[in-house]
Amino acid sequence: MRLAVIGTGYLGAVHAACMAELGHEVLGVDTDPERVDALAAGRTPFYEPGLPGLLKRGVDAGRLRFTTSLTEAAAFADTHFVCVGTPQRPGSGAADLSHVEAAVDGLAHALPFSGYQHVLVVGKSTVPVGTADRLARRLHTAAPDADLAWNPEFLREGCAIRDTLRPERIVAGVRTAHAETRLREIYAPLLAAGIPFIGTDTATAELVKLASNSFLATKISFINAMAEICDATGADVTTLAEAMGADSRIGPRCLAPGLGFGGSCLPKDIRAFAARAEELGCGESVVFLRQVDEINTRQRRHTVDLAEQLVGGSFEDHGVAVLGAAFKPFSDDVRDSPALAVADAIRRRGAQVRVHDPEAIDNARAAYPELQFALDVTKTCERADVVLHLTDWPQYRELDPAALGAVVRTRAVVDARHSLDPVAWRAAGWTLRAPGRPRLGRPEGARAVLRSQGIWEPAWSDSGHERTH
């Protein structure tokens, strides 16, 4: 089938490449000519494992190409996926839908000249409930025969290709039987592999994404709230999470305590959900999401306080090494990064802060030019008075604490992701602190249980990515 993908940012580029991998002819559309040229050459403006190779395979096979022209897209395909961003509106928790509206309006003006009948526009962007109905009315004004459906994405940065080609479910909010039939045809290879297809109305489809992300954010903030209780009582949050996760009704996923969630999805999605609920007159039903957001932010302050305790109560004239800048591993995304928020807070308290990350240094430097950065872990930690482990990259777990201890000024580390081995680090002479673990013992808990089962789970996970995510 011929498909157009409107918007080739993170979501759009991944979706376009994966649809070409499924055998469809795909045309990606973006307003940025430089991005279009880069994608056509198999280069991505962001880090996502496996995506460059997938792009190149689609382009070389002739199934994938890119353009800046919506008119060309309208003439090329009868199905158009809208994959543009919905960031948080400045000064408000609500979602900014200007990119989605511009994409649909642009298509609406181009479609009457496309020559196709029964055109289907499919939204994949995360939007407030009720958006699809409103956009459908706008679409029908210019293109009366066009149909609109909503097919939310559930990608985790770092494993987005797997989440597209082997999703846990496909949700399709449709207004007509024809739209559902078209989507079933598009995803036929996945349905043949046993992937569940959940057909519903557009409002429910919109809510599935927001409700899923809100539930995951709540679960993450809940275990981090328990970490605060553990600090106050002497209990161990990782053992608590392990025992809770053994209950099949709860499960261990997203129950790993740590620095909390960040990125471009979970924080803004729960705020947008709460804002939309207030517009609908039922804000009290999701008032707990405000507390979820506050707990998540408080984890960052708590991590700063732990580090400050380790340097004697003041950061002034102390060196701090930060391991991690991306909001999660296997990504170079630093939007709402907990690691960088902590690093900058410590800098503002008077410390000399040096940051390392395997992939996100360039983005981090652009976002936080006041911080110092290094491309080597050893250089990052030279003469540091405390080391902070803030992004759960696998290579940080594999560090030799004895070798690293030879370059720091003080062997003190805050493991905000609960994945360093406290026995090994203490044996090498380090003082190790972690939120919710006042008496450190075995490095186990919900995350360790998942790894023992052969499942790698980042410190947070969101339904749009990251299964933060």
- Residue positions annotated with a catalytic role: 265
List the helix and strand counts (H, then E) for the chain.
20, 14
What Cα–Cα distance (Å) separates residue 147 from each residue in 65, 83, 85, 339?
A: 25, 17, 21, 43
Give the other-Cβ count within 10 Å of 200's Cβ: 16
Report whether 172 contacts 151 (CB < 8 A). yes
Give the DSSP letter string of 230-254: HHHHT--HHHHHHHHHTSTTT-STT
**In this structure, what DSSP letter does residue 321 have?**
E
Full DSSP string of 121-181: EEE-S---TTHHHHHHHHHHHH-TT-EEEE------TTSHHHHHHS-S-EEEE-SSHHHHH
42 SS3 class: coil
Alpha carbon 401 to chain centroid, angstroms: 30
Torsion of CA 294, 300, 303, 305, to 10 degrees: -80
Query: Max CA-CA distance within the chain?
Result: 73
64 phi, psi to nearest 5 deg: -140, 125
Report whether 288 contacts 218 (CB < 8 A).
yes
- Is 257 exposed, middle or buried, given 0-12, 13-18 or 19+ CB atoms closer than 10 A? buried
Euclidean distance between CA atoms 109 and 104, whole angstroms:
9
Number of neighbouring beta carbons within 10 Å of residue 247: 9
Query: What is the side-by-side strand order in the sheet with 170-173?
Result: 64-67, 25-29, 2-6, 79-82, 120-123, 147-150, 170-173, 197-200
Alpha carbon distances (Å) from 450 to 142, 252, 319, 446: 51, 7, 35, 6
Strands 64-67 and 25-29: parallel
